[in-house]
Structures are given as structure tokens and as C-alpha cells.
Structure 1
Amino acid sequence: MTETAAPITTPPQIVDSHCHLDFPNFAEELPQVVARAKEAGVMRMVTICTKLRNLPAVRTIAEAHSGVFFAAGTHPMSAADEPLVSTDELIALSQHPKFVGIGETGLDYHYTAESAEIQKTSLRNHIAAARETGLPLIIHSRAADEDMAQILTEEHRNGAYPCVMHCFSSSPELARAALDLGFYLSMSGIAAFPKSQEIRDIFAAAPLDRVLVETDAPYLAPPPFRGKRNEPAYTAHTARKGAEVFGLDYADFAAATSANFDRLFSKAAAHTESAAISLAARA
């Protein structure tokens, strides 16, 4: 009697909507990191440039890997140390076919409260670029909930723009303000930490069609890798916790958050579809 080979199962596809593949942590094995992500079902990822002087390296990574896209802006913790980026500069950068988001930008008063005013100016420039290009604004917010909600709301009155609250770990009030504006919340490894029930409750109260997942790699690795270097493959571990939060099978949660990514990052979705059609035509 011959044994029947077990069927090969392919993991559900999911997206890491925010990582930093240009950071030194990945320099020695970036191709392997991207390969491990795809083995885990993370077929697409957005690598974020936080200082525009690093843009050439970030862009090169996106150009070298089919499933990698990029976004660029000035991180709020660097706003006082980097040249103030203009709206026109960001709009010009957005012409690259794999440039899919504006930022990360935002406010961080935890470490850099002394630069609050320049952070606000930088944030408004990024918002204007997101409004003009239609690309999603990628927001970092820490210890600045009141000012963040006020600026996002004020600017939205001046003209709508798409937005994701990256690595959301702020208050329920800021979550509600963002959701009321039609924005998205992104779930990082923080949501999988044992003591993060308050964050999980915020996500549980959010509409499923406004939730993304991310790693923020190399930071914030979810269990069982907490304390180690994070990488895009670990999106799957955060997403499994997200599936629990929403009472869904992992495959259903992966499909839902991937559809949300395609809706918000529509330029990445269009690029992916075009590449698939081109590949099929050559087959």
C-alpha cells in the first residue's frame, strides 16, 4: 500500500503595511528577510523612509523586490534636525511608480516635545501632499493625542485626505477621532503583548474594514519573538492575535486586512494587479 503525500498548504496572503527594511538590522540578509516574509504569506510590504536623505537606499530596496513598496517623509522625532520638507518636494517624489504613501510624519511629545512647533509645521506639509496626491498619510503619534486630533480634524475640513494611524497605541479618544474622519488604524506587535488588553479593546471596537496590520520592523516584535529583531514575516503572528480580537479565522482576517490595504494603498494595489497581468501575458 502506497502512502499518499500530505498536501502542501500555502499560508493566507497578508500585507505588512509598515516596516523599515533600510535599517542596519537588515543589511546583512535583506534577501533572506524578504524570502522569509513570502514563505509566511507576507507577499507585500511597505518600507518607510523616515529621513529624506535616506531615500535613495529605501527606493533601491523597493525597486529590487517585486512585493516591496515604499513611502517617505520626515519622522517627527527628526523634524528639528532635518531640513523642513516641502509639500512640493513630497508631491514630486510621489511620481515614482512604487511610492505609495506620505510619511511617516506626525507628532511625538514623549521624547521630542521641545520641537512641537516644527513638528506641527512638518505634519501640515505632509497632510497637504497627501491631499494633493491622494496617497495615504502615514501618522506616528505619541503622547500628543489632543494636538494630533485637532490638527487632523482641522486639516480634514480644508479638504479630505486618506490616512492610517500607524502602530496605533494611543487613546480610545484619538482612535474615535481618526475613525470618524474615515481613517484607518494599524495593528502592530504591541497589540499582541499580554498586557495590551486596552489596545486590543480599541481595535475590537473599530470597524473591521478600517484595520491594517504591520510590524514596524525591526521594532516591536510580537510574541513569541518579543525582545528580538522584528521582521515582516512576523506580521502573521500579530495578525493571528488580530483574528482572535475580531473572532475570525486567521484566513478571513488576513483577507479582510489585505482588502483594506488595497483600498487605502490603491496605488500599490494597482501596481500589483498590473504586474500580475504582465506576468500572465508572458506565461
Structure 2
Amino acid sequence: FELWVEPPVPVVAHGGSLRLTLRTTCSDPSALGDVETSFLKRLVTAAPGVTVVELLNVTEWDASVLCFYNCGLRRKLVATQLVVYSEAPWGEGGLVTLEPVPPLAVGESHELRCSVAGAAPARNLTVTLRLGGEVAHVETFPRGGGRGTPAGTVTVTWRVRARRRDAGRNATGTERPRPGVPSDNQFIPMSLSPVTEFPADPELEPHVYAEAGEAVTVTCAVGDVFPAARFELALANRTLPVTVSRDGHRATAEVTPSQAGDVGLVCTVTVGPARRRKEATVHVYSE
């Protein structure tokens, strides 16, 4: 005679209950079926050809039970593995955490760290790191979590190198149980913005010569930067009105010193969170 167990892959939350249905082709109406286990259990149904047993308070990780049927003088055994999983709270301090990403310069690398806490067994877990809509890294844990292994924390790391097109995109850590574990995907986004490219200091003529009372134009320039540069020109700590070129690489201002002497000129350029400055001297003379 034949014996089979339903469900074929029994899944139960840690500390929860689970019903196992034993079905047999044995035609003997007095045939008996049951489950050998260390867990508390109760008989739910005992009918010809079918027996339903409920396991109570399942607390052994990755446990197995022995299902059997006695049909006359014959006995059939089926060993059944249980998948015992743990659900962790989702939300603040919950299941998936992704460490903050600092401001990055284009070409700079940073190690992303995504942690999944309280998930068991780990061998049923898949963690996916996405950058924007692109899958950057997928990791599984085929050797994680064996018999007697409690729920813990697994950490996935991946080194990302900042590119211009990554500005404003999200890095996302996703926890997805493999088939058989009834849990929703959990994910958390973390912005990679700002991503900056500011390879060199601003360019400013170090010595500017001007006659007192006459206007002279000063120019501060940057190379290929990202995102757009913001310029500030100041003469003797007084901010000057500036005009920025259409390509965003140069700013000009008019300087009209009133008396002879040397005056400090400072150009400050901000690109994303990065800020650089260049100093010059305006030499003012009078005839």
C-alpha cells in the first residue's frame, strides 16, 4: 500500500501549529495512522484512508517528524522534513536594514551593507541589492541554518562605484524567502544622491590690476563638473553679483575698487556637497 503526507513541504512559523494529513491506499478500515514527534500533538481526524494530526508549539528549527500507517501486518513510514521559519517585525528597526550611503564623488567606491535580522532558516533566504531598477547583486545562503539553528542576522556586502547616472537613484536591499516560506518581500531604499564630480580647483587669475574708480571684469572657471556648479565671488568679504555662462563653467563679475591698495578676491564654487575656493589679489592703483 502507499502512504503520502500533505502538504508535501510543511511550513510552520516558529512556535506555531501545523496540521499534517496522512493519506493511504490501505483498504483495511481498521488501519491506523499517526505521527512520531517530540512536539505536542493532537488527533484531529481518524477516518478510513485518512488521518489528520496537528503539531502544537513547533519550536525546533528545521525539525523532522515520522509519519506512519499500520495496514494489517504491514507498516509504511514516511519521514517528513518541516521548514520552521521566523518572522521579524517590519518597519523601524525591522527585518531589512541598509546602512546609509555617504556623499560620493564620481569614480569613488563604497561598500553597501544590507542586513536581514530574525529570518530563519537562512538557507531559504535570497537577498537582492538593486541600484535604481538594475539588479546589482544577488546572494543566497545554501549552507546557512541547519538543525537547531535559531533566527539570526545575515549581512550582504557589495561595493558600488559612483557614476553620474547614479545621482538620485536608490540603492535597495530586498529580502525574499524562497518558495515554501509564506512571507512578503521586504525592501528598504537608500538614496545614493548626491553623486559629485569635482576633479580640480576653480581657476582664478591670481593677480588682477585695476585703477581706482574704474570697472574691471574678473572670471572664475571650473572644468567638467557634476552636478552644476554654483559660483560665489566676493571682494573684501562683500559678495558680488555674478553672471554664469550658458555652459555653467564660468562666472564673471565686475569689480570697481574705490581706493588704491591690495584687496582680497575669493571665488567659492559648490558642486553638490563639495566646496572649493580660490583666492586672488586685486591690486588697485591710482594715477
TM-score by length of 1: 0.21
Greater helix percent: which structure? 1
Q: Which has the higher strand share?
A: 2
Higher CA-based Rg: 2
Q: Structure with the greater relative contact order (CA < 8 A, sep ≥ 6): 1 or 2?
A: 1
